Structure 1
């Protein structure tokens, strides 16, 4: 009996020790597990363009490579290019890692293209004091072609319905957001099943989405984000520069500066620097414009305006050519960027257009005009500056002698006969450093 009790006790102690060691191992490894959990964060706080599309794709690739729990996109955008939006949405839908779009901070807006991006996320979240909805910017060059606009709107509506259906979000609201430009607050969006979470901040968001089951292109994943560390992934310097250049206003200004530089170089051969700057500005503007909906009629009007300004310098038109150039520049600037859909937020600021037109007009009328008039003016220095000048004969010119001109003594030859001493003479030519003069009495 005693032996039985001893054996039983030994077995129980062995089981207890194994379980104890098992729990100890778990507790020791738990901090390492927590430390391994990572959330990659990127921030989009501008219009949607090709650079931001590449930035999102870069974030997804990096999060996948680092085996992050998810990619967190901090979003605040008024909209942008639909083509770039489609690239971003496609990247999110095919992402192997969960993508969380968080409209923040307070006061932020997911407008137009931002609606598509938010709805495509595996988890859509908003901060208090934010809103979501289509913006429908008004184009400053007037209403677009109704047929083309309706075609683009129908296409965008079908696109956003397919996104909402895949993510099981409010299909009806998604369609109205495109067609009727409806915008709602974060609480309304939560109640209408447009988004999944309203979170006060990033920490609150990661706590609320912890444990959620997400279906990605790589399979089902359960999020462990409560104690995950956030690793920001910022744009590189090159991406920041390219993102800045993607602004239509910057592209427009670079285009004008490029034209000014080239023209200045043509009118002042050998200046070199204006030509170099002009070519660089033109190349940068063309880089930007290749991704923008450019209206070539507007570009032609801008070039025509520059030609009119140049003609105003060459031809006396009493300001008519300058007025025509200013009108052509304004019309061309308003027409330069023309979107096929009112859903795209792509335009040049009215203030930039007005100020650029005014500066261009003054530049050509005064700066270049003064420069060209100075080139055409009679020389006042050097040998050429002596032609037509008046001096005094120091001795009788019959026909040769000495004259005083600009405080200097010159050899001179009279072409108007004998000239008495102390007579006023005028220079009419110069030959081999000898002045050809005539008497003012005969002139």
Structure 2
């Protein structure tokens, strides 16, 4: 009986183990990292859980991006219950914020001809391009901890931040920053076979003889946030929102206020997911106050010009994002200066002119109760001189040239008038006095 049992166990364990099909949720991340990127990856994670996928495969091609969104992505990967594989394809970029995301993956893969690193924080706006040492130290420590948690070289990862170190794919493999090289996605997936990873304290070994890739599309919400969280678009929306709302106050109407409110809401939604410099925000608020002051107490454009300058300076230092692409730090100040001065100057000029016209119209409209002289009149209509200006008049009374009239109502450029009898009676008294003096003579 024991011999039979022993033979049965030997047969059972000697049978080949049937490998399961590997189900992979694939998602692409290209361009700047922002809130839309995080929402896309969160959507991919939810999709992988729902479809019971064995792994999430992220194709990463980015020059950098928003720090707060990068931190959310890192947190998502570090706490993921599903293994995350990040692959940098041939010709792709993995710099700044992208290098931090790559370090946080369970398995990091790069194609030959790519590079990783250059995550040194940079200051946006005028002045020195360097940032405070405490910011560099914080991000360096943050990156070092991520690398250590994933079993990667923490000293080299730290140099990405402190020394702007950049490694080729081969150098990254040699320095234990990535797990292996692959020239394409197929090779990257096939090389997973037999590899083991630690996912939240439990070891998972990839064992498969076939695999199936499920592509995850970008959700609409992510596309919206991807657009409005862009510093360039947020700056445009903020400028339009401010000026259109003020324009609506000076010239009430449904369209300017509605469009301005929508632009301002979208701008604030975008600004809510990026790091904001308080000094920049105060300068923008000061610019709004100066423009309102120009409308209340006209200074022939002095305060209006100060408003434009204050808003532009505020936008230059408003975005406090140290991990954006290198090209961004050069292009963004020029973009903001051009858009701010151009659009802000035009809108300020229009607002001031409209306010002046409205004040003039208000002044011209104050003719009710004034008196004037009839220039000509027939069939209930004619012309009169009121306050040195010639107006078209209407009256239910019969008027003659030279009659004194009083304005009782205004309808656009037309006045309704009535005859003033005092002047008529005075003329009669003067006529009687002339007759008496003639009789005496």
Same-fold status (TM-score > 0.5): yes
Report the counterpart of residue 110 of structure 1 in structure 2: 94
Report the counterpart of residue 306 of structure 2 in structure 1: 324
Partner SS, residue 77 of structure 2: helix
**Is 1:404 aligned to residue 379 of structure 2?**
no
Whether the aligned pair in 2 keeps the contact of 1:403 and 1:412 (CA below 8 Å) is no
Matches within 5 A, 1:399-438: 404-405=382-383, 410=395, 429-430=407-408, 433-436=416-419
1:237–1:57 CA distance, 2 compared to 1 (3 A): closer
Question: 2:298 and 2:71 mapped to 1: Cα distance?
Answer: 53
Question: 2:294 and 2:109 mapped to 1: Cα distance?
Answer: 58
Aligned length: 393
Partner SS, residue 194 of structure 1: coil
| Alignment gaps of 5+ in structure 1 | 1-17, 395-400
Question: 1:77 and 1:387 mapped to 2: Cα distance?
Answer: 75
**Is 1:208 aligned to residue 191 of structure 2?**
yes
1:412–1:121 CA distance, 2 compared to 1 (3 A): same
342-351 or 61-70: bigger deviation: 342-351
For normalisation by structure 2, the TM-score amounts to 0.75
Report how far residue 71 of structure 1 moved: 0.7
For normalisation by structure 1, the TM-score amounts to 0.75
Whether the aligned pair in 1 keeps the contact of 2:316 and 2:336 (CA below 8 Å) is no
**Is 1:160 aligned to residue 112 of structure 2?**
no
1:390–1:333 CA distance, 2 compared to 1 (3 A): farther
Report the counterpart of residue 254 of structure 1 in structure 2: 237
1:249-289 CA-partner distances (Å, limit 9, x unpaired): 222222222222322332234x2333233333323322222
Question: 2:133 and 2:178 mapped to 1: Cα distance?
Answer: 27
1:188–1:434 CA distance, 2 compared to 1 (3 A): same
Report how far residue 310 of structure 1 moved: 4.2
Report the counterpart of residue 86 of structure 2 in structure 1: 101
Whether the aligned pair in 2 keeps the contact of 1:413 and 1:435 (CA below 8 Å) is no
Partner SS, residue 239 of structure 1: helix
Partner SS, residue 53 of structure 2: coil
Report the counterpart of residue 429 of structure 2 in structure 1: none
1:346-367 CA-partner distances (Å, limit 9, x unpaired): 87553134213221111121x2
Matches within 5 A, 1:276-287: 276-287=258-269
162-171 or 120-129: bigger deviation: 162-171
**Is 1:358 aligned to residue 342 of structure 2?**
yes
**Is 1:273 aligned to residue 255 of structure 2?**
yes
1:230–1:353 CA distance, 2 compared to 1 (3 A): farther
* Pick aligned residue for 2:279 from 297, 308, 331: 297
Question: 2:396 and 2:80 mapped to 1: Cα distance?
Answer: 91
Question: 2:419 and 2:359 mapped to 1: Cα distance?
Answer: 24
**Is 1:197 aligned to residue 197 of structure 2?**
no
Partner SS, residue 210 of structure 2: coil
Tell me which of the two structures has the higher relative contact order, counting C-alpha pairs closer than 8 angstroms and 6 or more residues apart: 2
Question: 1:81 and 1:217 mapped to 2: Cα distance?
Answer: 26
Partner SS, residue 353 of structure 2: helix
**Is 1:39 aligned to residue 18 of structure 2?**
no
RMSD, aligned CA: 3.9
Report the counterpart of residue 77 of structure 1 in structure 2: 62
**Is 1:89 aligned to residue 44 of structure 2?**
no
Whether the aligned pair in 1 keeps the contact of 2:94 and 2:116 (CA below 8 Å) is yes
Question: 1:154 and 1:288 mapped to 2: Cα distance?
Answer: 27
Report the counterpart of residue 126 of structure 2 in structure 1: 141
Question: 1:261 and 1:316 mapped to 2: Cα distance?
Answer: 19
Report the counterpart of residue 388 of structure 2 in structure 1: none
1:389–1:213 CA distance, 2 compared to 1 (3 A): farther
Question: 1:402 and 1:243 mapped to 2: Cα distance?
Answer: 66
1:410–1:41 CA distance, 2 compared to 1 (3 A): same
Whether the aligned pair in 1 keeps the contact of 2:316 and 2:333 (CA below 8 Å) is no
1:308–1:413 CA distance, 2 compared to 1 (3 A): farther
1:427–1:102 CA distance, 2 compared to 1 (3 A): farther
1:302–1:165 CA distance, 2 compared to 1 (3 A): closer
Whether the aligned pair in 2 keeps the contact of 1:110 and 1:131 (CA below 8 Å) is yes
Question: 1:250 and 1:213 mapped to 2: Cα distance?
Answer: 43
